[in-house]
Amino acid sequence: MVILARYGEIHLKGNNKGLFLRRLLANLQKRIDGKVKHEGERIIISDYKDEKSTLGRVTKTFGIVSASPAFVLSSTPDAITKYLETLIVPGTFKVNINRADKKFPIKSPEFAPQCGGIILNANPTATVNLHNPDSTINIDIRQGNTYIYTKVIEGVGGLPVGVSGRAIVLLSGGIDSPVAAWLAAKRGLSVDFIHFATPPYTSELALDKVRKLQEILEDSVGKSKLYVIPFTEISMAIRKHCSPEFMITLMRRFMVRIADRMQADCIITGENLAQVASQTIQGITSNNFCATRLPILRPLITYDKSEIISLAKKIGTYEISIVPHEDCCSVFVPRNPIIAPKLKQVLAEEEKLDAEILINKAMEYIS
Ligand code: ATP
Ligand code: MG
């Protein structure tokens, strides 16, 4: 048996197709124990130990749109018909032939009924149904090898991780930012994570959650780094010197300024329009104005909470994200956070702090 994997959008990449494809093959090879090769617009995975887990990993690899476990035979009428005699087919079926090898001696309209007849002979209870069959027996005849498969398992789609550059994701322990990371990686960004911890106000439990989320995400996004930044001193300085209503905006600006230094091509957050008080357009503007030279991407900006939750469940982060924890933003949240902060006021509040010194100090303790 082999696994036949198909890619989607890469077909549209023109002159860059080779580059995208090489990355996809390399990403697959890193994730599975078998052999990976490109063959006639498909990817063939062979010599793996366990089919189920390999199939799971392949269909979770960004860039793959579907995969099928397949039998491999040599491309001769004899080998194919011999194999079909042994095939067990319950219920209704149809035969679908792809004669990619034009040298194969029998044309599809002739070969399909011939194959169907053999299957009917071997399975007296089976019947042919061309419109709504219980199973479709796909016979993919290529030069050299023929692949026979019935199952087509949907993959995650997207583009191979790494083709779009590198992102630094602001990862809290909540529901949203892990989903944002997953979506960013789905469009080909490789991701590393940055988390701001405010001990003793936030506990080791909050950090554990973030580490677990990283581990789950790595299943899809590949190997990543997690930078943990001590954020207590910065938060305390803001609390001491600045007007309380700007607390969250100023904290977020510090997070962005620190993320800016992490040598990435862009910053990702789990922010969403109008989900909470600080996520108004004015709030979002104040969060990043002049705080970074990088683009801040917010993959979830227009998503409904219910859409984010169902994605989090699909990715596998939801159960961890909902474990209660303290986040620096929830610990320091003022009674009346400003809903539409005026940029001028935010910058005036920030002026009260020596941001550079605070940031440099926090950077010394990155772990
Ligand atoms: P999430 O569900 O990701 O926690 P949220 O809906 O709770 O998001 P906020 O608390 O306003 O929204 O945070 C907005 C974004 O800021 C988060 O999605 C995340 O990207 C970032 N963020 C918040 N707190 C932290 C933190 N302690 N460390 C790193 N990033 C954070
Ligand atoms: Mg949160």
- Ligand 1 centre to CA of 23 (Å) is 31
Task: Write out residues with Cβ below 6 Å of ligand 1.
Answer: 170-172, 174-177, 195-196, 255, 269-271, 275-276, 278-279, 327-329
Assess whether pLDDT exceeds 90 at residue 189: yes
Assess whether pLDDT exceeds 90 at residue 334: no
Q: Which of 70, 95, 50 is nearest to 6 (CA)?
A: 70
| Residue with CA closest to ligand 1 atom 13 | 271
Show the beta-strand stretches assigned E in the chain: 2-7, 35-39, 42-46, 64-74, 92-99, 127-128, 135-141, 145-149, 153-154, 166-170, 190-197, 226-230, 266-268, 296-297
Q: Express each pLDDT in 307-322 by its tens digit.
A: 999 999 999 999 999 9
Assess whether pLDDT exceeds 80 at residue 270: yes
Q: Which atom of ligand 1 is nearest to the CA of 300?
A: 18
Identify the nearest ligand to the CA of 278 by its number: 1
How many CA atoms, within 13 angstroms, populate the side-chain half-sphere of residue 207?
A: 16
| Structure tokens, 332 | 């320091």
Q: Express each pLDDT in 62-102 by its tens digit.
A: 999 999 999 999 999 999 999 999 999 989 999 999 999 99
Q: Which atom of ligand 1 is nearest to the CA of 231?
A: 27
How many CA atoms, within 13 angstroms, populate the side-chain half-sphere of residue 258?
A: 29
- Ligand 1 centre to CA of 56 (Å) is 30
Q: Express each pLDDT in 148-174 by its tens digit.
A: 999 999 999 999 999 999 999 999 999
Reported confidence tier of residue 205, pLDDT bands at 50, 70, 90: confident
| Residue with CA closest to ligand 1 atom 24 | 172
Strands 35-39 and 42-46 turn out to be: antiparallel
- Ligand 2 centre to CA of 155 (Å) is 29
